Amino acid sequence: YTKGKTYKLTILHTNDHHGRFWSNRDGEVGLAARATLIKQLREEAKTNGASVLLLDAGDVNTGVPQSDMLDAEPDFKGMNAIGYDVMAVGNHEFDKTLKTIYQQRKWAGFPFVSANIYDKWTKKRVFPSHVTKKLGDLKVTIFGLTTEDTPLKSNPKNTADLKFTKSVEEAKTLVPTLRPNADVLIALTHVGHYPDEKHGADAPGDVTLARQVKGIDLIVGGHTQKPLFEPDIQNGTIIVQAYEWGKYVGKVDLEILDGKVTLKSYKLIPVNLKDTAEKIKPDEKVEALLRPYKERGDKTLLVQIGNADSEYIGRRDVVRFQETNLGNLVARAYREKFKADIGLTNSGGIRDSIYPGKITIETVGMVLPFGGEVVSTEMTGKEIKEFFEHVIFKLTPGSGSFAQTNNVDIVADKKTSKIKSFKVGGVDLDESKKYLMALPEFIAAGGDKYPAVKFRKFGYVDADLLKEFIASQKEMKSSDFAPRGSIKIE
């Protein structure tokens, strides 16, 4: 930089886009409206003599069937059209294989950064740790971090050859090497913002990073999907996050003078949210680019397969805490495909409710978006009992690991952490007999801290099994799936 010169820098940012390339039913969000807003903000910045960088903090993948079925091609091509500069790799990027992520990077045309993802075999980083942007004679370095929980929180198959190191430790060694060459140092992270470091059972996030690693000017984060309407300033580092789904674009205005970075203003700007007065006209070019993808998706997805007489509950504040009709339905669909004795799923795999009315393929894709396989495992009654004792007493309460089951009646003893009574199909479990259980590969392989088991694969995809099951029912009644206290803890 030049001594005595004041530089203006505007950082625009989004995170946790999760497949929302098109606007929703209420006309909210979408890349076309985001494009118009960003164009406008760029013009404003230009008038004010500010340079602009546009960043995304990861999790572009997963959440909308029209995007999921196309490996988020419309999302990345749309982001390319908007002119993103850099993206951090999020845990949901690994809902796809590494090969698909490389393909997505081609569609995107901008770099994906992450300093803490290594190839297990070559020991090399899989993505560049950072990029440096030269804005005139101002050097801005942006490095990436990804939550080290990723192998536990995504399909183990896709991360089997990768090692995720601790993000804060990685930053401790990286920042001192980047800092001397950067006028502005930005961490673009997908590790989450946990106020006052209260990250519970999750890996440490942005606040820990800021407190433990000196020298980062700005942390642009994601993952926890909470809006930070005010920046959180920790240890002199500014932390921001823009909620989720492209609901807001974050705007950070910085001034840099003689190596000192000052926050001038910060704002989250809504993208056509229902209760905001100002409406943004979607950019015609971006809309025209994306429309064919949307129409292609709708054509295959808006096909009716059944009917819901009431809500099948998949809302996370319910399904991660108690047995629900949707949990029972999903576990039953898995069990029946394998003609297994027991059906099981982690509730975190269920991402939406089925609402009363038409059930379409799109509905099923909203409920089960990961496209994971369902597998079978054979265990003796004794092993099954031990497995469920672990599931009931050792997993994190209220998390995605909470079990939804089919065809079991279990009574467990809180005091001894043992199972008192276990029935399969209404009959007492025989400890020496073999039982077949159908379950997602995700947990069979040890995801969500389940005990890893030996399993067999047949190429059955979760959403396909649910679709098949619903389509095979003449008249599906939610009362047939009502919670019945399958697992009682006394």
Residues with a catalytic annotation lie at 16, 18, 59, 91-92, 95, 190, 223, 225, 316, 320, 351
Q: Which residues contact 11 (CB under 8 A, 6 or more apart)?
A: 52, 53, 55, 186, 218, 220, 250, 251, 252, 254
Q: How far is Cα 412 from Cα 418, in angstroms, rounded to an integer?
A: 6
154 binds ligand ATP (CB under 6 A): yes
Nearer to ligand ATP, 360 or 399 (CB): 399
Tokens of 104: 């997505």
Q: How far is Cα 41 from Cα 7, in angstroms, rounded to an integer?
A: 17
- What H or E segment, with its residue span, contains residue 393? helix 381-393
- Which one of Zn ion, ligand ATP, none is in contact with 440 (Cβ closer than 5 to 8 A by kind)? ligand ATP
Residues in contact with ligand ATP, shown as a per-residue x/- string from 351 to 390 under the rule CB under 6 A:
-------------------x-x------------------
Nearer to ligand ATP, 291 or 457 (CB): 457
Residues in contact with Zn ion, shown as a per-residue x/- string from 229 to 248 under the rule CB under 5 A:
--------------------
Size of the site for Zn ion (CB under 5 A): 4
Nearer to ligand ATP, 144 or 381 (CB): 144
Tokens of 367: 């409920």
Buried b (16+ CB within 10 A) or exposed e, 444-470: bbebbbbbebebeeeebebbbbbbebb
Q: Which residues contact 381 (CB under 8 A, 6 or more apart)?
A: 422, 429, 430, 431, 432, 433, 434, 435
Nearer to ligand ATP, 190 or 335 (CB): 190
Strands of the sheet containing 184-190, edge to edge, are 130-135, 138-146, 184-190, 218-221, 237-241, 232-234
Nearer to ligand ATP, 141 or 363 (CB): 363
Q: What one-character DSSP code corresponds to residue 388?
A: H
Question: Which residue from 76, 84, 118, 442 is in contact with ligand ATP, where contact means CB under 6 A?
Answer: 442
- Residue holding tokens 């990029």? 131
- Which one of ligand ATP, Zn ion, none is in contact with 328 (Cβ closer than 5 to 8 A by kind)? none
Question: Which residue from 237, 272, 328, 399 is in contact with ligand ATP, where contact means CB under 6 A?
Answer: 399
16, 222 Cβ separation under 8 angstroms: yes
Shortest approach of ligand ATP to residue 53 CB, angstroms? 23
Question: Which residue from 30, 205, 314, 400 is in contact with ligand ATP, where contact means CB under 6 A?
Answer: 400
129, 100 Cβ separation under 8 angstroms: no
- Which one of ligand ATP, Zn ion, none is in contact with 401 (Cβ closer than 5 to 8 A by kind)? ligand ATP
Binding site for ligand ATP (CB under 6 A): 16, 59, 91-92, 95, 153-155, 223, 225, 346, 348-349, 370, 372, 399-401, 440, 442, 448
Q: List interacting residues with Zn ion (CB under 5 A).
A: 59, 90-91, 223
